[in-house]
């Protein structure tokens, strides 16, 4: 899995919703093949755009409350939170170029 910081139901509000920086949350699970495919891409994006976007991961099996609250029904789901609100949702594994296009308005 990616080297991203893990967040949980318990610290989601503090780590994501109250963040000064936009946060991309990777909703994933250990058994999810596409989640494993997208993990190294997210690591690259996290490294390349650390000044504009924070990336974290949330295991939906271990943290069902947050996943349910944001109606995450398919994984991987990538939600971008800004000022406590979801400003973008990307569902499914996508190549790096497609993810960067989706995130262009956030990372410039």
Catalytic-role residue among 32, 42, 53, 93: 32
Per-residue confidence (pLDDT) for residue 1, from 0 to 100: 47
Per-residue confidence (pLDDT) for residue 51, from 0 to 100: 95
Q: pLDDT digit string (tens) for 8-22?
A: 999 999 999 999 999
32 annotated active-site: yes
6 annotated active-site: no
Domain ranges of the chain: 5-103
- 3-class secondary structure per residue, the chain: CCCCEECCCCCHHHHHHCCCCCEEEEEECCCCHHHHHHHHHHHHHHHHCCCCCEEEEEECCCCHHHHHHCCCCCCCEEEEEECCEEEEEEECCCCHHHHHHHHHHHHC
Q: pLDDT digit string (tens) for 41-85?
A: 999 999 999 999 999 999 999 999 999 999 999 999 999 999 999
Catalytic-role residue among 23, 25, 35, 78: 35
Q: What is the CATH number of domain 5-103?
A: 3.40.30.10
Q: Looking at the predicted structure, is the pLDDT value of residue 2 above 60? A: no
């Amino acid at each position: 899995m990616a080297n991203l910081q893990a967040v949980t139901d318990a610290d989601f509000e503090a780590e994501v919703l109250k963040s000064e920086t936009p946060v991309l949350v990777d909703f994933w699970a250990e058994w999810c093949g596409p989640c494993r495919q997208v993990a190294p891409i997210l690591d690259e994006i996290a490294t390349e755009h650390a000044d504009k976007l924070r990336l974290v991961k949330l295991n939906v099996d271990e943290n069902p409350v947050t996943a349910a609250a944001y109606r995450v029904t398919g994984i991987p789901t990538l939600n971008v939170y800004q000022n406590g609100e979801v400003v973008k949702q990307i569902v499914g594994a996508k190549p790096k170029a497609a993810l960067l296009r989706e995130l262009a308005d956030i990372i410039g």
